[in-house]
Amino acid sequence: MSAGWLVLRAALRDGLRSRIVYGFGLFFLAAGWMMARLGGNADKVLLSLLSLSLALVPLVSLVFGASYLYQARTFIELLLAQPVKRRTLFLGLYTGLSLPLALAWLLGCLPALLMSGGVRPAALLLFLGAGVGLCVVFCALAFLIAVRIGNRLRGLGLAIVLWLLLAVAWDGLVLMLAYLFSDWPMEGPVLVLCLLNPIDLARVLVLLHFELGAMMGYTGAVFQQFFSGPLGTALASLSLLLWVLVPLWLAGRAFQKRDF
C-alpha cells in the first residue's frame, strides 16, 4: 500500500470521526428540514440554505482546517521521519480534511432540497458546486495560514479576521470605496473586487441563475451587469477554481519549506 494512500486514509478517518464534521452536517440537515417543513418552495429553500452556507461554510472550513493542521503537528513530524514525500503528505492531509467537510455539507443540504420538490437541476448543480467550492477554497486558505504561521492563536485569529473581512465587511468596504471615488468610473475596480472574494463569487454563481440582483450585493449587481448568462457562470466558476488552486499551491510550497 502506497504512502500517499496511508496518509489519505488516516486523514479521512480523523475527519470522519470529528464531532465538528458531524455537527456541521446535522446543523444544515436540521435547518433545511425546518425550511422545507415551513412550506417554502424549492427555490426559497435553496436560497435560504445559500445564505446560511455563505456565512457558515467559510467560517467552519477556516477554523476547523487550521485547528486540524495545528493538532496534527506531531503526526506530521512522525511521518516526515519516514520515506514519505512532503507533497504526498500535504495533499493527503488536505484531501482527508476537505472531503469529509464537503460531504457533510452535501448530506446536510440535499435531503431538504429533495423533500421540497421541484428544484431545478441547473440551480441545484450550481448551488452544490458553489458550496463544495467554498469548502475546498477555505480549507486551502486554512492550510496556507496554518503552514505559514506557527503560533496557533495567531493563526486562528487571522483565520477569523479573514472570515470577517470576506463574509461580513467586504460589501461595506466596496460601497465605501464606490462612494469615496464616485467621480470616477468604478465598474472595473468593483469587478476586480468581486473576483477577489470567493464568497461573492459563490453567491453570484448561484444567483445569476435566478436573476435576483437584490440579493447579490453591490459587487454582484455590477458583475451581473457585465457578465450575465453562460459567460458570467463560466467566469465565476473559473475564478472560484483559481481560488482553490492558488492558495493550495502556495500552501504546498510553504509546507515543503517548513521546518517542523
Give pLDDT tens digits for 187-221: 777 777 888 899 988 988 888 777 555 455 565 66
Cα–Cα dist 193/214, whole Å = 18
The full length of the chain comes to 260
- The amino acid present at 28, given as its one-letter code, is F
Residue whose C-alpha is closest to residue 51's, from 141, 122, 134, 151: 134
Sorted by where each begins, the domain ranges of the chain are 3-257
Mean pLDDT for the chain overall: 85
Which pLDDT belongs to residue 23?
Answer: 95
Cα–Cα dist 126/135, whole Å = 14
pLDDT higher than 70, residue 233: yes
pLDDT in tens, 12-50: 888 888 899 999 999 999 999 998 888 667 788 888 899
